[in-house]
Chain A
Amino acid sequence: MNFDIHALRQRGIALVTVGGWLVVLTIALMAMTHGEDALYAAFVSALLNMIPTWCMLKGRTDRYARMAVGVMAALQPSLMLYVMQGSLWQIDMHLYIFVALASLTLLWDVRPIIAACAIVLLHHALLSFLAPSWVFWGGGGFVRVTIHAIATLMIGSVLC
């Protein structure tokens, strides 16, 4: 059985990018209940999808294209977390971080997974001090960030 790595990566980039656009749509729909903030988030979400979409349309699968898709996949769930701030359901949005990380296995490269895990860790660590409500309902704190960081490192290790 032959595997064409280029074709597999092309399909992976296409699937993750389509997933990214579904996030844009979801956040835009959230604007109906969460107002203007969700529209801002949908705009940024669409912006993050531009370069992966270009890579998909051009059929690019080089390491830079794969890393660009990894950056997009890591940041999209953070926008969902932001939109759900102040809601009990915000914590549930963290599940989509794991979906995003797992989707990167479709790129057949560990680098986007490592980069995405690093971005998630950085996002949680920075915002838990700068704007805790954007990540955690009821505030962050060292223990809570550590629990999330360990889970991210563990899933990152498994996926690599």
Chain B
Amino acid sequence: MVLGNEQTFAKFAPAVLIGQVALGVIGMAAFMFAPRTDQPALLYPLTAQAAKALPAIISRPGSAIAARGQVAGSYIVLGERSGFAENLLSRGILTLNAAAPGCGPALSDQARGSNL
């Protein structure tokens, strides 16, 4: 059965609100956690292989380890990182904004006074 315009709208009407709430939540979350090129970034390995490779990657010139992250195996780094997030994601490392909630330095590093 082919629905008329009005009937189609009525059938999918709740999707408008669901879509808007989803856009709001996803947009705000992505905005909150997206890495910024001029701010510290949290590097979180998604695989065991990435966890092994991460220390070597962040010891390269151009970046500096500022602290350990709150999740084991994660690090907070400083430095020039244009195009960094996309490269790292292809190697199984997630890059997040270290200023976002839950993405700051590990408590032991906070107590020591990290240079963030």
Chain A residues proximal to chain B, CB less than 8 Å: 35-37, 40-41, 43-44, 47-48, 50-52, 54-55, 58, 60, 62-65, 67-68, 71-72, 75, 78-79, 82, 130-131
Contact = CB atoms under 8 A, between A and B. Distances in A.
Contact of B38 (A35, A78, A131): A35
Contacts of B71: none
Contacts of A41: 31
B4 interface: no
A12 B24 CA distance: 21
5 contacts: A55-B16, A64-B15, A68-B16, A68-B19, A75-B28
Contacts of A130: 101
Contacts of A62: 9-10, 13, 16
A67 B17 contact: yes
B15 to A, nearest CB: 8
Contact of A51 (B23, B99, B101): B23
A48 B23 contact: yes
Nearest to A129: B101
| Interface size range on B against A | 20 to 34
Nearest to A50: B23
Given A62-B9, A71-B24, A130-B101, A51 B32 contact: no
Name which of B17, B32, B34, B101 has the most chain A CB atoms within 10 A of its CB.
B17
B16 A47 contact: no
9 tightest A-B CB contacts, nearest first: A68-B20, A130-B101, A64-B17, A44-B27, A64-B16, A51-B20, A64-B13, A44-B31, A47-B27
Interface in B1-29: 9-10, 13-17, 19-21, 23-24, 27-28
